[in-house]
């Protein structure tokens, strides 16, 4: 399959140029960005795209421009307004600082690892995400569903890339399982070391297009990135022999220019991918279960042992897979919990703790 077969999935903000493309087009510029600029008051500002984020500044590029500017955040109280890789900024005439950020066409984010509620921005204005897994123990349907929910909730096109195809006799079973996760999902099985990989993935890497790589450590992301770039731009390390798990090689996010005009973003391996604000992605990923749940007798049905539950009925007659329903319930609960405010979460935890203590007290009395 290729991206042209996805009638319901479109690249956000893309309009085919009707005249000669702007010099900015090769950096991923779209009419949706141009429409945000006021020609009367902002004609002297210089659009630039963020290609690297550092503690002390942002690397930005544009036509005849490649420089580092101070960090930018539109609202000090809102982490999501901090400039991230892929963002478009309007710089002052001397290109020394950002005046403002343009509205994003897409934003990939996750809840930062740990117990806090901070959101970690992954990338902005991405057109396609290559979700990379491999033909070994890293191949995990539950993990793939997490990535798919995150990507689809951002309105970005997902493509599953299964690496290390040379390690197995037949990749058909891996491809079949991955494709079953979402209708019309493109899945490619590749050997990342083969030069022909670039041709297989080129439909999503055209001029001005931005693709991001996401996946766990050790699945061959960095090797695949280097193959597409045609150079050893990213350090690679072999997976540990004792457990076949990977080591972190990419430690920062940065955009790289592809020879045929696209932009490629490598991201650090993610061993923890907490869901937050991904309702739309979950609704799409589990559309069949969501449709059935709407027919439950009770609107707050937990789909456990409640009478009139359409989901448990579908499980009983073999219409649904029990493991998949379990993953759905887990992700929905996790997303709901992570979306709570800190005060709401503490209240929920306090209420849960109180309930546990009451149950334990009743047991002791009995």
Q: Are strands 210-215 and 128-134 parallel, antiparallel or unpaired?
A: parallel
CATH of the domain at 210: 3.40.50.300
Q: What is the DSSP string of 204-242?
A: GS-TT-EEEEEE-TTSSHHHHHHHHHTS--S---PPPTT
Q: Which range marks the domain in which residue 37 is found?
A: 7-105
> pTM, whole model, 2 decimals?
0.79
Q: Evaluate whether residue 193 is within a structural domain.
A: yes
Question: Which CATH number is 328's domain given?
Answer: 1.10.40.50
Cβ proximity of 220 and 134 under 8 Å: yes
pLDDT (mean) for 269-273: 60
Give the length of the chain: 366
pLDDT in tens, 133-176: 988 778 899 999 999 999 999 989 999 999 988 888 889 999 99
Computed over every residue of the chain, the mean pLDDT equals 82
- 313 and 175 in a single domain? The answer is no
**Nearest 5°: phi and psi at 148?**
-65, -40
Within-domain flag for 90: yes
Based on the fold, state whether residues 262 and 144 are members of the same structural domain.
Answer: yes
Say what the pLDDT of residue 312 is: 93
pLDDT in tens, 21-40: 688 999 999 999 999 999 99
| 126-130-131 Cα angle (round to 5) | 120
pLDDT of residue 356: 58
- Residues 95, 59 contacting (CB under 8 angstroms): no
| Residues 99-129 pLDDT 10s | 999 999 999 988 766 555 577 899 999 999 9
Which helix (H) or strand (E) segment holds residue 134: the answer is strand 128-134
Is residue 120 located within the same domain as residue 45? no
Check pLDDT > 50 for residue 8: no
231-254 residue pLDDT tens? 655 444 444 444 444 443 444 578
């Amino acid at each position: 399959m290729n991206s042209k077969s996805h009638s319901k999935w479109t690249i956000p903000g893309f309009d085919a140029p009707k005249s000669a493309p702007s010099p900015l087009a090769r950096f991923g510029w779209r009419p949706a960005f141009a429409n945000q600029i006021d020609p009367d008051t902002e004609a002297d500002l210089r659009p630039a795209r963020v290609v690297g984020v550092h503690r002390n500044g942002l690397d930005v590029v544009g036509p005849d421009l490649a420089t580092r500017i101070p960090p930018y955040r539109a609202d000090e109280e809102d982490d999501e307004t901090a400039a991230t890789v892929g963002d478009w900024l309007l710089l002052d005439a001397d290109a020394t600082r950002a005046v403002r950020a343009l509205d994003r066409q897409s934003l990939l984010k996750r809840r930062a690892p740990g117990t806090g509620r901070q959101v970690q921005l992954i990338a902005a204005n991405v057109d396609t995400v290559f979700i990379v897994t491999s033909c070994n123990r890293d191949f995990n349907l539950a993990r793939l569903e997490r990535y798919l929910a995150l990507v689809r909730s951002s309105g970005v096109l997902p493509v599953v890339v299964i690496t290390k195809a040379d390690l197995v006799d037949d990749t058909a079973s891996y491809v079949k399982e991955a494709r079953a996760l979402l209708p019309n999902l493109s899945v490619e099985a590749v050997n990342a070391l083969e030069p022909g990989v670039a041709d297989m993935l080129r439909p999503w890497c055209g001029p001005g297009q931005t693709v991001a790589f996401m996946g766990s450590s050790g699945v061959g992301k960095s090797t695949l990135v280097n193959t597409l770039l045609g150079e050893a731009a990213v350090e690679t390390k072999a997976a540990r022999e004792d457990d076949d798990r990977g080591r972190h090689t990419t430690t920062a996010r940065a955009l790289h220019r592809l020879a045929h005009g696209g932009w490629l973003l490598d991201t650090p391996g993610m061993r923890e991918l907490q869901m937050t604000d991904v309702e739309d992605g979950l609704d799409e990923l589990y559309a069949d279960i969501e449709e059935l749940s709407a027919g439950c007798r009770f609107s707050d049905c937990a789909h456990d042992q409640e009478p009139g539950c359409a989901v448990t009925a579908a499980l009983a007659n073999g219409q649904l897979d029990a493991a998949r329903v379990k993953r759905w319930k887990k992700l929905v609960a996790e997303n709901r919990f992570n979306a709570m405010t800190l005060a709401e979460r503490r209240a929920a935890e306090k209420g849960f703790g109180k309930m546990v203590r009451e149950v334990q007290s009743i047991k002791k009395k009995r």
